[in-house]
Structures are given as structure tokens and as C-alpha cells.
Amino acid sequence: MTRTLTRLAVRMLPAHTRDRYGQELIALLDRSPRPLADTLDVLFLAAREHVEDSMRRPLHTLASVSLAVSLVLLGYTVNDLSTGLTELPQHWWSSGAAVSVIASGAAALVSRHRSAARSSAKG
């Protein structure tokens, strides 16, 4: 019964996680001193992974649009400064555009899809 539940729990994981860690996870769960509790942990992990995967694309789209708007605003801001970027820290209104570019750029990087992150790390 526990072995069947273990295999079912591992099959519930997203494909990218299951392909990478599936066999190793089954072996660990087979040797676990508390197999039922650990199998339930894997089921909760599977649910969390699916929720994160479904939320990642809309968040990345929002962050990318925010980055594009912030870059346009930064362009208008720098255009209004007489000496360009070197004058940026002297004006509170221009610093906001730079901060929004940094924040939305970081959000776009963090929220990118896992397969894109893995392929850029490999190559």
C-alpha cells in the first residue's frame, strides 16, 4: 500500500521535477523511517509545484510589461536631465524611474519559466 502511494505521489510531481528527481525520491521514500508522513510531504510538494508553475507565466508577463513601461519612463526622465544619467541622483523624481527599472527587471528575472532558466544555465 505504502509503495503504491509513494509512486503515486512521485507521479503527481510536475514532469521537470519528476524526470530529474523521481527515481531518487522513490528510493528515499522506500527507506524512510516514516514513509506515510514523507509521502504526504511529497504530495504537498507536488501541489505547491503545480501552483507555482501556473502562477509563474502571468507574473513574468506582468513583470516584463512593467519593465518595458519603466524603461520608457526612464528614457523620458533622462531626456529631461541636462547632463544625462550623472544628474539622476540629484532629482527625487528621476530616481523613481531608475528604481522601477531595477525592481521590474529583477522581478522579470526571478519569475522566468524554469525551463528557460535551466537551458540558460546549461548553455
Q: Report the alpha-carbon distance of residue 55 to residue 114 in Å, rounded.
A: 12
pTM over 0.85, yes/no: no
pLDDT reading at 122 higher than 60:
no
* pLDDT: which is higher, 102 or 95: 102
98 residue type, one letter: A
For the segment 44-62, what is each residue's pLDDT rounded down to a tens digit? 989 988 888 788 788 888 8
Q: Would you call 82 exposed, middle or buried from its count of C-beta atoms within 10 A (0-12, 13-18, 19+)?
A: exposed
What tens digit of pLDDT does each residue of 106-115 get?
888 888 765 5
Domain ranges of the chain: 2-122
d(CA 118, CA 101): 25
User: Which candidate, 48, 40, 32, places its Cα nearest to that of 9?
Assistant: 40
Higher pLDDT, 105 or 82: 105
